[in-house]
Structure 1
C-alpha cells in the first residue's frame, strides 16, 4: 500500500485524469456498440489507456491490459456493450446510432476505469492493475465467462477482481459494498407438454396439453412459497405460454418458458429440481408427458467478505456514504469472475427516477466522478486485502 504522501498523490492524479475520462464517456455514449460488436468501443478505450500496444485481445472483441510490473495483479472490469434501445435523453451527445444506446451505464463504467488506470500509471501502482475490457455483458454467450475460460486471467496472474455499476435505486453518491450474494443466478427454463389432440366436442378422446400446462403454470407458483426457505430469496416466473391454433381443436402440445433467480447456489439447485418434478407429475396426472429444459446462465454474484471489509475501510476513508445491504435478484456476469478469484462488485447511486435500461437513463458527470472514486477505493482496498492475505501466509505481498 502507498505511504500517506503517495496515497494523496494518487487521488490528486485521479482528479487530473477525470476531465479526459468525461470526454471519453461522451464519445462512447455517442458511438455505442451492441453485444458482440464492441471492437470499435474496445479500440477507443484502449487508445485512452497507457501502454495500449501491450493489450492482449480476448473473448473475440475484448482485451486485457496490464499496467505495472510483473506479479499478481488486480483486475478491474469495464463492460463495453450497449443495448438495443432508442435513446430519448435529448442531450447533444446522444447516441448517433439509431436503436442503440448505453442505457445501462457501461459508458460511465469504462470512463471510471480509464481515469483510475491513468492515475495509477502516472503515480506507479502499488499492485499491478489489469484493465479488463469485457464484451457481451447484456447477452449470451457471456463475455465474462469467455474471459475466465480463455486462460488470460491465469497467464496475467489475476489475484482478484473489482468492478463498479451505477444504481438508480441508491441515493446519488451512495456506494453499496455488500458481502456475500448481491446479485442472483439467472437461468431460463422451457417446458413442453405433449398429449393427444382431437375434436373439442369429444374431450374424453384427447389428452389436453393446454389444460395440463395451465395447471403446471399455477403449480409452479408454489415452488418458492412451499419448497424454498422463506429467508432464501428466489423467483420462478413463467413469461410465455403457447398452445393450440383453432377454437374447436384440443391442443396436443403446449409450451411455456420462464426465468429462475436465486441468491444461493443451494437454492438454485433446489428450484431447478422442483420445476422438473412439478411439470412431470402434473402432466402425468393429465395423461400427458412433460419435458423440461433448463438453460444455465450467470451464477450467483458473490462478493468476497475480506475484500468488502477492506474496500469499505477505503470508502470510509474518502468520506463516501456506504451501504452494506443492497441485494437483488438482478444478474450480472461479473459473477463468473467471482467463481475464479476473490472479487467484489460495488454499486454507486445515481438517485435518478429513470431505471436502468430506460431510454431516458443518463448518469451525469458527477456520477462518473463518484464511480471513479469508488473504483479507486475498491482497487486500494483490494491491494490492502491481498497484502494482508500474503502476510498471513508469510509470503511477500505482490
Structure 2
C-alpha cells in the first residue's frame, strides 16, 4: 500500500466513527487498527500489543540514523453518549459515540504512520494507540505497567486533541498548561439519625454538609493566587430518606480542576483541612476521598513547545492560533509529567457543538490539513 490518500482516510475515519467502544473495551477498534496497519509497508515497522494492556497498540518505525525516539500518541476510546448527528455513518453501537473526536485522532495517526512506513524517518518514531483516555486513566496504566521500556521508550511525546471551536485544520497551542488536571472528590459525613422533633438526640449530617459546602467555596477565592485559575464544583449531594427524619449520612460528590499539579495538591490539602475541621466542629466522622488517577494537568514542555509553535507559525500553509488553557481534563498530562513533550489542538470547525456533545460533527477537511502540518513538524524536528 502507498500512503493513505484523502478518500481512503475519510472511509477509515467513518468506519472508526461507526464502531465506538468504551474504555478498556476497544477490541473491535484494536482489530481494525491492526488490519489497516497490516497493509502498510512493514520494512521499518515493529508492532506490539502489550499483554498487560491488551487493547493498546504500539508501532515503532525504525529511523535511518536515530538520535532519539519521538513518541506520537492517539487515544482510541469513546463515550457513553447516544449520537444525535443523523449521519449515514453514525454509531452502530447503541449509547456509545465518538463524541470527543477520537476517530479523528486515530485517522490522523494512521495516515502519519502510513507515510513514515513508506518514507523512512531519520529518528525512530513510536506511535501509541492508547485505550481508556475518557476514563480508567489509560495513559497512567500504560506507564505503570511498563509498556514504555527498551526500544519502546520515547524521548519525547506529542499528541493532539480536536477542537470544534477552531477553524478546520487550524493548529492551536500554547506555552504552559493546555488542559487542566482533574480530581474526583467524594465526601461522606457520618452522624446520628433521629426524629426531626428531637434534634438534640441526633447529629445532623445535612447541617454539617451545608457548612462544609459553603467553606469549600472559599478555597479558590482565598487560597489560590487570583492570577492563576482553579475550580471546585460540587455537583451532587445526597442525604436522608424522608422530611421528618434527621439524616445520619450525607454524601457530596464533585470535581477539582487546576492548571498545575502543584495547585491541585494545594487544593487537595485545603479540602483535607476543611473536612477535618468540620468533623471536629460537628463531632462526626467525615471521610474524604480524592481520586486523580492519571488526569494531571497537560503542562507542555517549554523548550519543545517553543520549537513546535515556532515551526507552525513559520509555516505559511498552517493556520496557527495561540490558545488559552481549558479546564477540561486529558490524561496525556500524566505522560507529559514522565516524558517531555507537547499537546496541541487540531481545529475541526464545528462551532455549534462542543466536545462530548451528541451532535459533534467535525469537518473532515481538517484531517488532511492537520496531517500535513504534523508531518512537516516531525520531519523538521528530526533535522535538529
TM-score, normalisation: structure 2: 0.91
In structure 2, the partner of 1:383 is 382
* Contact persistence 1:232–1:264 (CA under 8 A): no
Report whether the alignment pairs 1:254 with 2:242. Answer: no
In structure 1, the partner of 2:149 is 154
Cα separation, partners in 2 of 1:157 and 1:253, compared to 1, 3 Å: closer
Report whether the alignment pairs 1:300 with 2:297. Answer: yes
* Contact persistence 2:46–2:61 (CA under 8 A): no
Cα separation, partners in 2 of 1:295 and 1:381, compared to 1, 3 Å: farther
In structure 1, the partner of 2:14 is 26
Determine the C-alpha separation between the residues in 2 that align with 1:57 and 1:239.
39
Determine the C-alpha separation between the residues in 1 that align with 2:348 and 2:361.
9
Report whether the alignment pairs 1:76 with 2:72. Answer: yes
Q: CA deviation at 1:318?
A: 4.3
Determine the C-alpha separation between the residues in 2 that align with 1:232 and 1:273.
17
Cα separation, partners in 2 of 1:209 and 1:181, compared to 1, 3 Å: same
SS at match of 2:286: strand
In structure 1, the partner of 2:26 is 38
Cα separation, partners in 2 of 1:17 and 1:310, compared to 1, 3 Å: farther
SS at match of 1:280: helix
String of CA shifts for 1:58-79, please: whole Å, max 9, x gaps. 2221110111248432111111
In structure 1, the partner of 2:344 is 346
Q: CA deviation at 1:172?
A: 3.1
Determine the C-alpha separation between the residues in 1 that align with 2:340 and 2:283.
50
In structure 2, the partner of 1:325 is 323
Number of equivalent positions:
371
Report whether the alignment pairs 1:369 with 2:368. Answer: yes
Determine the C-alpha separation between the residues in 2 that align with 1:111 and 1:171.
18
Alignment partner for residue 133 of structure 1, among 103, 109, 129? 129
In structure 2, the partner of 1:3 is none
In structure 2, the partner of 1:289 is 285
Determine the C-alpha separation between the residues in 1 that align with 2:358 and 2:183.
26
Q: CA deviation at 1:334?
A: 0.9
Report whether the alignment pairs 1:357 with 2:356. Answer: yes
Matches within 5 A, 1:270-289: 270-289=266-285
Q: CA deviation at 1:293?
A: 1.3
Determine the C-alpha separation between the residues in 2 that align with 1:332 and 1:382.
24
Q: CA deviation at 1:370?
A: 2.7
String of CA shifts for 1:331-385, please: whole Å, max 9, x gaps. 111112201211111102223111111111011220212332333244235435x
Structure 1, gaps ≥5 residues long: 1-12, 388-398
Determine the C-alpha separation between the residues in 2 that align with 1:54 and 1:128.
11
Matches within 5 A, 1:24-103: 24-49=12-37, 50=40, 51=42, 54-58=46-50, 59-69=53-63, 71=66, 72-103=68-99
Determine the C-alpha separation between the residues in 2 that align with 1:320 and 1:61.
34
In structure 2, the partner of 1:144 is 139
Q: CA deviation at 1:36?
A: 1.2
* Contact persistence 1:39–1:62 (CA under 8 A): no
Q: CA deviation at 1:218?
A: 1.4
More helix by share: 1
Matches within 5 A, 1:196-275: 196-275=192-271
Determine the C-alpha separation between the residues in 2 that align with 1:188 and 1:227.
19
